[in-house]
Amino acid sequence: MRPMPSEPLALGEFEQVVLLAVLCARQDEGEAYGITVHAAIEQRTERRVARGAIYMTLDRLEKKGLLTSSVGPPTDERGGRSRRCYTVTKPALTALRASRRALTRLWEGLPASR
């Protein structure tokens, strides 16, 4: 019996939203940290999201190996505190692409009026 090929990690909807928001924030702002991720989600989904939910999800995604983070230098605008910046990992990109393919296949053939 051959071993099963490893499958990409399955992502929940909000995990997908947060990972995509990290990518958007890095593209739009140059870096992704809690506030820029929050702004990307609210602007692009037109959905209100609690900041705490975003920070919890960022932490969970980092523990799963789907994000890496680094602490930047302290900033005056944050009262001398540093901000944690996030980067999406290759396994996260693989999981996002797999999720996109699966959803696209599910939508194919459905009438547009649904």
pLDDT in tens, the chain (114 residues): 544 446 778 899 999 999 999 999 999 888 899 999 999 999 999 999 999 999 999 999 999 999 999 997 777 776 777 889 999 999 999 999 999 999 999 889 888 765
Domain ranges of the chain: 13-74+84-101
Element (H, E) at 84: strand 84-88
- C-alpha distances in Å from residue 26, one per residue of 21, 31, 33: 8, 4, 9
Q: Residue 71's beta-bridge partner residues?
A: 84
Enumerate the H helices of 1-114 as residue ranges. Answer: 13-29, 34-45, 51-63, 90-107
Measured distance CA(25)–CA(40) in Å, rounded: 6
What CATH number matches the domain at 13-74+84-101, 3.20.20.70, 1.10.260.40, 1.10.10.10, 1.10.490.10?
1.10.10.10
- DSSP, collapsed to helix, strand or coil, labels residue 85 as strand
